[in-house]
Amino acid sequence: MGQEESRPETEMDPQRIQELCILFMKECPSGALHLHEFKRIFGVQSSSEEETAYIETVFSSFDTNKDDRLDFLEYVAALHLILKGNLEDRLKWSFKMYDKDGNGKLDRSEVKSLIRIMQKIRVRRSDIDMTPTQICDRIFELVDQNHDGQISLAEFMEGAQKDEWVMQLLKLDVDASGWVIQNCGDKNP
- pLDDT for 50: 73
Per-domain residue ranges of the chain: 14-184
- pLDDT for 85: 77
Share of the chain above pLDDT 70, in %: 75
- pLDDT for 188: 44
- pLDDT for 38: 82
Residue type (1 letter), 95: F
- pLDDT for 9: 42
Residue 28, SS3 per DSSP: coil
- pLDDT for 156: 92
Q: How far is CA 88 from the centre of its chain?
A: 13
- pLDDT for 173: 52
Contacts of 103 (CB under 8 A, 6+ apart): none
Banded model confidence at residue 107, pLDDT cuts 50, 70, 90: very high
The answer to which of 45-54, 104-113, 127-136, 138-147 has the lowest mean pLDDT is 45-54
Select the more confidently predicted residue: 144 or 189: 144
Beta pairing class for 105-106 and 32-34: unpaired
Smallest CA-to-CA distance from 174 within 110, 71, 85 is with: 85
- Which long-range contacts link 154-161 to residues 24+ away (Cβ below 8 Å)? 156/91, 156/94, 156/95, 156/106, 157/88, 157/91, 157/92, 157/95, 160/2, 160/91, 160/94, 161/2, 161/3, 161/87, 161/91
Kindly report, residue by residue over 89-105, the tens digit of the pLDDT. 888 888 888 888 889 99
CA gap 87, 93 in Å, rounded: 10
Contact 114, 57 (CB under 8 A): yes
- Give CA separation, 15 vs 19, 21, 96, 134, 181, in Å: 6, 10, 29, 44, 14
pLDDT at 106 over 90: yes
pLDDT at 8 over 50: no
The answer to which of 143-147, 151-155, 161-165, 168-172 has the lowest mean pLDDT is 168-172
- Whole-prediction pTM: 0.69
Residues 14-184: name the CATH superfamily.
EF-hand (1.10.238.10)
Residue 11, SS3 per DSSP: coil
Question: Which of the listed ranges 38-42, 91-95, 127-131, 138-142 does the model predict with the highest average pLDDT?
Answer: 138-142
